[in-house]
Chain A
Amino acid sequence: MATRRKPKLAVWKFASCDGCQLSLLDCEDELLAIAGAVEIAYFAEATSAFVKGPYDLSLVEGSITTAHDAERIRNVRAKSKALVTIGACATAGGVQALRNFADVEAFTSVVYAHPEYISTLGTSTPIAAHVPVDFELRGCPIDKGQLIEVLSAFLAGRKPVTPAHSVCLDCKLKGNVCVTVAHGTPCIGPVTHAGCGAICPSYDRGCYGCFGPMETPNAAALSRELARHGMSRDQIHRVYRTFNTAAEPFREEAERHGS
């Protein structure tokens, strides 16, 4: 019997902190098995061996913040059969999308002595704003269990199972005492996409939304609860405008609480 060619995996980086691609290297128990099941054809953080495309699966980390990167992602798309974005930057523009609501020239002059040396776009945008994306994995950072699920699903030719319900539901399943009900701690778990394992409430703090919005969130209703538990208009504005600021329901809710 002819042996089947191993699928070619590529991992790409755009504007990001490297944490989501690091999650792949953090799969210490599975990494060598993954390397056995796929050909790691391009993964600059891990290997200097660059195998030419086309690639069967591209994992894309980071957001688009330069004209050069806007061109580069089109090129990546063109040589990838399937393209999966990993993390909040690639999926929702990331924390650097805070520039979208500011004057990027003013930002540049805050950080750099010679703003004329810096070339950047006025916005940080998700990958899907530039090219078609086959699947989006949420989180800042992504959860490695979910990453392995995405890879396994891809290898098996099925859709990944990553529930779109809220952190709130996972928290109940975990048996946590509700931080809002029991301690009055504001928490945006009811509108945040599951996947982290409800870590923050397990550590006695309210969820701060790093997985972005769940499917059909009722953020307006939650905001009333947040206000009732002592959050100011400005605090509500900021909690939605942090790591997934370009994700529509969060962007909208932040704007409703704008100054």
Chain B
Amino acid sequence: MARKTIKVDYLARVEGEGALTVVIRNGAVADAQLRIFEPPRFFEAFLRGRAYGEAPDITARICGICPVAYQMSAVHAMEDVLGIKVGGQLRALRRLLYCGEWIESHTLHVYMLHAPDFLGYHGAVEMARDHADIVKRGLELKKIGNALMTIVGGREVHPVNVRVGGFYKAPRKRDLLAFAGELRRARDLALETVRWTAGLDFPDRTREYELVSLSHPDEYPMNEGRIVSNRGLDIDAREYDAHFEEIHVAHSNALQARIRERGHYLVGPLARFALNFDKLSPLCREAAHEAGIAPICTNPYQSIVVRAVEVLYACDEALRIVEDYEEPDQPFIAAEPRAGVGQAATEAPRGMIYHRYRLAEDGKIEDAVIIPPTSQNQASVEDDLKVLINGWIDLPEDELRHRCEQTVRNYDPCISCATHFLDLRVDRE
């Protein structure tokens, strides 16, 4: 049979550089490989010899879109070594900062990276020519997320205010209260976003994943919780290594993660939502029901709706934190360095992220392991392409290529993290 090759030199609207090869044989997808060739930057190597207090600033630079996820995971892991527990208003402020990042990062993906796939545009700027009100709503919402990060963290990209033990400076109560009006506005915009995304045209496709996320008894997970799955996993972050492993495959500069007993799994909004639906605020649960995705969504193309629901949650939660806020006596808990191993997992917008550090007695980092969400999802992306693309392989090449790209963008892949460039090759035999 004739063999055919389709090539895309650069996957747009993702963060980082990657490539994709899809092999089609006898009318079915025979193989799919997501190759990540974002050049390696060696964070885990050069963290060695740095002081433990430098980790939040340095690891933030892994990703400009979700720096808070790295900062939060780093500070929790260091506090695990140092034996300190950050509670009360400092804990609430961390959650507030994370809310800002969820709003900013998810809104960027929903409006600027993913929606153009559904509405048939190259990007949000082109989309704005026909749908100015929609794009402006997205920009307004994203701006409020960024403003929240700036109030708590000092700036939106690589915040400066996060430190092990808490913050350099706690925000003033009056400043946070003055921001409540913006958050109410954001909540309205987020609710409109859920309704709008729910009305998009979705391919009728579902997948059975092992869904993995944090789970906390009292709240929708961000900074803390046990690592659970829909197939019975229920462990502390300290047991991560016993249950997960990373494989280095030849075609990628990012390591692929798997559950030792079972294999591939999915982290991110779909997993968080399915495993923690009952922890969402009533407003969010209602919106999700109205949108037709409650209490579990197994169509990865609808992840855009789940992200919108999580933005709504982050606005709702931020408002609650701001209204309950009292200035803490101290902006941070001081601690003396000591030797040991610390581990933590938190929920980045794209899914669970895990950090492990071994410190020497003087607090210098001896070893660092960082497992970002996109490397955990890499194998699932490949599985999705193998399964979901079937049924579309007779489409003209342009449309097939677009479906492949859309399928990858379902993940909001952050390839800079995992280690934009998707060089798509479709081999038809």
Contacts and interface: CB of A to CB of B under 8 A. Distances in A.
27 contacts: A13-B420, A17-B63, A18-B414, A18-B416, A22-B157, A26-B156, A32-B125, A32-B135, A32-B136, A44-B421, A46-B12, A47-B123, A48-B122, A48-B123, A95-B46, A96-B42, A110-B45, A111-B42, A114-B248, A124-B41, A199-B154, A199-B160, A200-B160, A203-B169, A205-B163, A238-B50, A242-B57
B128 interface: yes
Interface in B27-52: 38-46, 48, 50-51
Nearest to A30: B139
Interface string B391-423: 000000000000001000000001010001100
B42 A18 contact: no
Interface stretch (A98-106, A221-229, A250-258): A98-106
B54 A19 contact: no
Contacts of A140: 61, 158
Contact of B13 (A19, A45, A205): A45
B235 interface: no
Contacts of B202: none
Interface string B153-182: 011111011010001110000000000000
B126 A49 contact: yes
B45 A22 contact: no
B41 A203 contact: no
B9 to A, nearest CB: 8
B287 interface: no
Contact of B40 (A35, A47, A108, A200): A108
A120 B421 CA distance: 17
Contacts, number: 191
Interface residues on B, range: 35 or more
B255 interface: yes
B248 to A, nearest CB: 4
Nearest to B48: A110
Most interface-central of A32, A50, A114, A124 (chain B CB within 10 A) = A32
**Which of A31, A47, A114 has the most chain B CB atoms inside 10 A of its CB?**
A47
A108 B39 contact: no
Contact of A112 (B48, B63, B146, B248): B248
Contact of B61 (A48, A95, A107, A235): A95
A140 B250 CA distance: 32
Interface of A: 13-20, 22-23, 25-26, 28-29, 31-32, 35, 40, 43-50, 65-66, 69, 94-96, 98-99, 102, 104, 106-108, 110-114, 117-118, 120, 124, 140-141, 196, 199-200, 202-205, 208, 210, 235, 238, 242-243
Contact of A203 (B51, B142, B154, B420): B154
A98 B46 contact: yes
A19 B122 contact: no
Contacts of A13: 17, 420
Nearest to B150: A199
Contact of A141 (B50, B128, B158): B158
Contacts of B169: 203-205
B10 interface: yes
B183 interface: no
A118 B39 CA distance: 9
